[in-house]
Structure 1
């Protein structure tokens, strides 16, 4: 099975970049980087368990894909569907449309991502 650690490494870099951009007041790009981080971490979980991952950018689809592998992540998604939807919208909107994510929105996204990481780490530890 190929080594998919590069997905996790890149996700960590996107997350660090998101925090830096947030501190600089670059909220649109911070949101975009959070989306990339979440997308890659979900793909990392799928790849590390199944040996492959779907070629999609949809966080909703990726959460559905991991539902049986890690029910706790699905619970996270159900409890945070609105903020995950905002993160997902950043993939396109922050680059191609005149959106203006606000500090409070991106702060909520960062907080949700940190909770997501806690749940995901638990899933990665269990067989």
Structure 2
């Protein structure tokens, strides 16, 4: 299986896990799984441009990498759409990044529903970009 497909498959599984976590009242774990879903979907898309996805986990940096790639292939319209998404959802993306560490190690109060919502919005954007670039996600 190609790497981008495997990463996307894992991202989709993490989304399912996040929804199940919320149904159990596990907001912190739902936040972590939401972050993982968005992070892996981003890496899935980026791996279509590189032999392997970039290392690291900060979703804002990964979105920044995607913006650079889109500009390099002269898709400034899509780059602008990603920039707008990051700017408009900065607070939610910060929550996801905090969830990556905090939900695993500390007793924190993280809004799991907000984390899942921002992850889903980000993945919807990434799916639209995939369709635009390759006609299929």
Instruction: Give the TM-score of the pair, scaled to structure 1.
Output: 0.89
Question: Residue 110 in 1 paired to residue 116 in 2?
Answer: yes
Once the two structures are superposed, residues 66-125 of structure 1 have per-residue CA deviations (whole angstroms, 9 ceiling, x without a partner) of 113241223211110001000110010001112122xxx222222222221221111001
Within the candidate set 128, 132, 135, 1:126 is matched to 132
Unpaired runs of at least 5, structure 1? none
Q: 1:88 corresponds to which residue? A: 97
Offset of 1:14 from its aligned partner?
0.3
Aligned residue number for residue 11 of structure 2:
11
Name 1:46's counterpart in structure 2. Answer: 46
> 1 CA distance for matches of 2:51 and 2:84?
24
Q: Deviations over 1:33-81 (max 9, x none)?
A: 0011011001001001333211101112101101132412232111100
* Alignment check: 8 A CA contact 2:10 2:37 kept: yes
Task: List runs of 5+ in structure 2 lacking aligned partners.
Answer: 71-77
Whether the aligned pair in 2 keeps the contact of 1:73 and 1:116 (CA below 8 Å) is: no
After the TM superposition, which parts of structure 1 deviate over 6 Å for at least 4 consecutive aligned residues?
none
Number of positions where the alignment pairs a residue of Structure 1 with one of Structure 2: 123
For residues 77 and 22 of structure 1, the distance between their equivalents in structure 2, rounded to whole angstroms, comes to 24
User: Aligned equivalents of 1:55 and 1:115: distance in 2?
Assistant: 23
